[in-house]
Each structure stands twice: as structure tokens, then as C-alpha cells.
Amino acid sequence: MISYNYRMSKYEAVIGLEVHAQLITQSKMYCSCDTNYQQAEPNTHVCPVCLGLPGTLPVVNKEAVRAVIMTGLALNSEIAKTTKFDRKNYPYPDLMKGYQISQFDEPICLGGYLEIGNEKIPRKIRVHRVHLEEDVAKLHHETSIGTQNTYSLVDVNRAGVPLMEMVSEPDMRSAEEARDYLTELHSILQYLGVSTAQMEDGAFRCDANVSIREKGSKELGPKVEVKNMNSFRAVQKAISFEIERQSALADTGERVIQETRGWDESKNITVSQRSKEKANDYRYFPEPDLPPLEINLEWVTRIKATLPELPRQKISRYSKEMGLSTYDASLLASNSKTADYFEKSLGFSKNPTPQTPKSIANWINTELAQYLNQGNVDILNQPVTPEIMSELVELIEQKIIGSAQAKQVLAEVYKTGKSASEIIDSLGLKQVSDTGELQVAVLQAISENPKAVEDFRSGKDSAQKFLVGQVMRLTQGKANPSVTATLVAEELSRYSNSKE
């Protein structure tokens, strides 16, 4: 048997991704139907235009064009001065008109790139194009009870929802790189606010073109298009499988067939669906009902001015200006909501120190993240508000509570939604820093542990630590550790003096 590693040293994978994202707009791409269809009864968000009735005329949704331009600018693409729409013809029951209004040879955005990897090993994945089209209807496949006859129901609510297609160049060389590209693109769209990019709702969908070739070769092998991947994990697994499958075929001298394959999540394999149509099978031709669009440069400039700070810019700012590690900064910036939460928390800090951003980041990325992940909870919609988070970190910095107490407080806030100081009061968690109060505990610890004092006198420094621990025990963990350590040291120094 030939090992995977051997194969991967012989072959190289060539991967390109086609990503479709539904755009957030009030109305559909070519009619005024409401796009908010997810909870709606089937076939209630429809009109003659999106039902594809004869004699109707489409009108381009300007908001959708704006969203595509915005995406193109974020992907460093060139924005076309003129663009046009084309009919993509194919017969399928989910296509109401029998064709889809898409863009063929004059897309809105051409070229560009997206950066993946880290500062040490950055990678630019080139973008081929970004264009605008419309979503299709949804088919529900049913089986009649009793007869086992199968039939399909058509829900047209989704038909005509603006859909943006982003096509990469075949620049990715591994399943991990493909996943990185997809994650980065996903987070850019969320930052731009142009798409919910929810994979589970089908608002963000990815197809992968995978081929292999011998290392060093410039030729491209037969391309296999992989579909049906419903999560980032599935994308990575499906591409890995496909690279392995094609390499195994090449090793036995068999030809890889150019085809479309579907990812079978339950079996962890790709399955042949159909041999690939060529682009001209779609008989593209210019949409006669829509005139070409002129894109005004001034409009593009205005859109450019509204671009928000993007994930990679945030990571760089968090690490350069706030001293966060790239790892922490990436965790915060990977999702616009988490970044938003972090910046809001920082904004509430009344007396921020150079350490504050780091502390807040730690609490978000570890303790809070743990609670949110357990329940798959939205960070902007949970009891630990940015204000409470900043209060909590401030209380630790001011040594009013220790980090063990802070964890307890966070858990309690998450459960009850009360403020941190309220919980500290009600649970009596306040750290004791008052020397008078602590001195009593220190003296008690010393009188209860003559052996430790003996040990200290005979030169065992660990005895000092032991006594600090005893003070912690006597105060139920509320003693301020550094004040306690000073007091214990002072007290013990008397014994060492009296020794001489």
C-alpha cells in the first residue's frame, strides 16, 4: 500500500473555490418582494417577476450592486466601469424562468486577492471575479405515505434573492489552505455586513474545484467539482478526500474523470453525480430586458469610504497598538461581533492600564468563550455585557477580587445577569487587602504552625509559601496574595533576627 505522505510528496493539489453568498437587501434582485423568507410560509414572498410569468420585466436592485462593489473593494478587485447581465439557460424545476439572470463576460468585479496565513508566512490567494446573480427556488422532496411515491414541492420564496458569486483562482494547494481562504472570506463578508454568511441557512455556500498534478508540472489535471459541503469542516474533509482519491487513481495509472461529485457527510466520501457540463452548455446571451449598467467612479469612491476596518487590519492593530498576541488578536477579530464586544468592553474601562486590553482579551477568549461555546450563544446577546466585562477586569486590576473569585463572579453574572459588584457583595467575595485584618490571620497561621516557623529558621524558604497558603485557607481564599506574602515575610523576619 502506498502511504499518503509518499503520494503528497509526488503530487500537488490545485484547488479553486466558488462561493455563493446571499446578500442582505430589503427586496429581491429583480423585483420588490421581501427577501426575509426564512420563517415565512411557502410561496408567500412571490410576484409575477420572481414566479417567472411571461410578460414581466426585471429591474436591477441597486443595493445588491452596491454590496458587490463593496465586497470587490475589500478583495482588492478592479470595479468595472460598465457591467451587464446575461441569461444562463438550463432546465431545472427550481428555475422559474428556465434561465437565471447572471453575469457572464462582464462581471462587476475582476481580479483581486485575499490574504491568508500569518505574518511570518503570508499567502495571497488571487480572486478571479465577483458577480451578481439570483438565487433559485427551493425544492422539497417528499414521499407519499402508504404508496412510497416520491414527488417534489416547489417553494419560490427564495427565487430571486440576490446572490453574489466569488470565484478564486486555483491558487490553493491543500485542504487547510482552502479552509483558511473560506474562513477569511466568510469573516470579511460579515464585517462588511453584506451577507449574514450563515452556512446553516444556506446564505453562504461553497463548491470546490480540485485537481492534482505531479509536483513541478505547470499543466492542470482534469478538474473535479465537489458540492454539498455544509460546513467549514466538511469543505476541508471533502477536499482532503478528493486529493487522496485522485492521487490513488494516478498511482494506478487510471485517469481522473472530469465530473461533479457530492460530499456524503455520513460516509465521509465524495460520490459521482454527473459529468461536468461545459460553460457553453448554458447558452449564455445578454439579458435583453436589462440595459448594461454604467458604474459611476464617484459612487465607487463613496462606497470605498464606508469600508469598515477588516479582520486582518484589526489583528494588526490589536497586536501592534495593544500588545495582544497574534493568536489572541485573531480569535477576537475572526468574528465581527467578538471584535465589537472586545472594543466596547475596552471603551467602558474607566482607568485602563497598558495591561487592560490583554486582560479583557483573555477573559473573552477563555472564560467567556467557554460559556458561549457550550450553548452556542451570541456574544452580543448574553448577560455578561461589555460594561460588566470591563467592570470585572477593573476589579481584578484594582485587586478587589482575585482571579479565582473573578471566575466565580463571571459564572454568576452569566447565570443571573446581575452586575459584578452586586455579586461580589452578595457572595462576600471581596479580596482582603487591609493589613490590619490580614495581620490577625498571619499571626494565627504562625501560632498554629510552629513546625513551619522552625523549618523557616533552619533555612527552608518553602515554609514561607506554606504559611501564605495557610492565611489563604483561613480567609477562604480572599486574602490578597501579594499583601499576605509581604506580611508573612515581615513576621518571619523577626524570628530569623531573634535566631542570631
What residues line the site for Zn ion (CB under 5 A)? 31, 33, 47, 49-50
The secondary structure element, H or E, covering residue 346 is helix 336-348
Residue with Cβ nearer Zn ion (50 or 70): 50
In angstroms, give the least distance from the CB of 273 to Zn ion: 30
Nearer to Zn ion, 100 or 187 (CB): 100
> Toward Zn ion, which CB reaches closer, 31 or 293?
31
Q: How many CA atoms lie within 13 A of 215 on its CB side?
A: 6
**CB neighbour list of residue 37: distance below 8 Å, 6 or more residues apart:** 45, 157, 158, 161
**Is the CB of residue 326 less than 8 Å from the CB of residue 118?**
yes
Which strand (E) or helix (H) includes residue 99? Answer: strand 99-102
Nearer to Zn ion, 98 or 122 (CB): 98
Q: Which of 66, 61, 68 is nearest to 35 (CA)?
A: 61
Which grid cell is 194?
A: 453584506
CB of 373 to Zn ion, least distance (A): 39
CA gap 30, 56 in Å, rounded:
10
Q: How far is the CB of 416 from Zn ion (least distance, A)?
A: 47
The rounded distance, in Å, linking the Cα atoms of 27 and 18 is 24
Between 102 and 390, whose beta carbon lies closer to Zn ion? 102
Question: What angle in degrees, to the nearest 10, is found between the helix axes of 326-333 and 336-348?
Answer: 110
Closest approach, Cβ 35 to Zn ion, in A, equals 10
Rounded to a whole number of angstroms, the minimum distance from the CB of residue 48 to Zn ion is: 7
* Complex with Zn ion: residue 107 or 162, whichever CB lies closer: 162
CB 140 within 8 A of CB 153: yes
Q: What is the nearest approach in angstroms of Zn ion to the Cβ of residue 44? A: 11
Min dist CB 99 to Zn ion, Å, is 16
CB of 49 to Zn ion, least distance (A): 5
**8 A C-beta contact, residue 162 and residue 26:** no
Paired residues of 395 in beta bridges: none
Amino acid identity, position 312: R
* Residue (135 or 394) nearer to Zn ion, CB: 135
Least Å from the CB of residue 287 to Zn ion: 17
Q: Please identify which residue in the block is written with the cell numbers 447572471.
A: 102
Single-letter residue type at 194: V
Q: Which is nearer to Zn ion, 49 or 332 (CB)?
A: 49
Q: How far is the CB of 102 from Zn ion (least distance, A)?
A: 17
Alpha carbons 446 and 456: distance in angstroms, whole number: 11
Cβ at position 60, least distance to Zn ion in Å: 14
Q: In terms of CB distance, is 31 or 189 closer to Zn ion?
A: 31
Residues 495 and 463: their CA atoms lie apart, in Å, by: 13
Considering beta carbons, is residue 32 or 355 the nearer one to Zn ion?
Answer: 32
What are the residues whose beta carbons fall under 8 Å from the beta carbon of 328, sequence distance 6 or more?
318, 358, 361, 362, 365
Question: Cβ 341 to Zn ion, closest distance in Å?
Answer: 37
Q: What is the CB neighbour count within 10 angstroms for residue 67?
A: 25
Sheet with strand 285-286: strands edge to edge: 99-102, 86-89, 285-286
**Contacts of 451 by beta carbon, 8 Å cutoff, 6+ apart:** none
Crossing angle (nearest 10°) for helices 311-322 and 175-192: 90
Residue 43 falls in which region: left (phi positive, over 0), alpha (psi -120 to 50) or beta: left
Residue placing its CB nearer to Zn ion in the complex, 33 or 300? 33
- Nearer to Zn ion by Cβ, of 59 and 404: the residue is 59
Strand, helix or coil for residue 350: coil
The size of the chain, in residues, is 500
Residue placing its CB nearer to Zn ion in the complex, 135 or 412: 135
Tell the smallest beta-carbon distance from residue 28 to Zn ion (Å).
5
CA distance 401 to 494: 30
Contact criterion met (CB below 8 Å) for 307 and 192: yes
Contact 263, 234 (CB under 8 A): yes
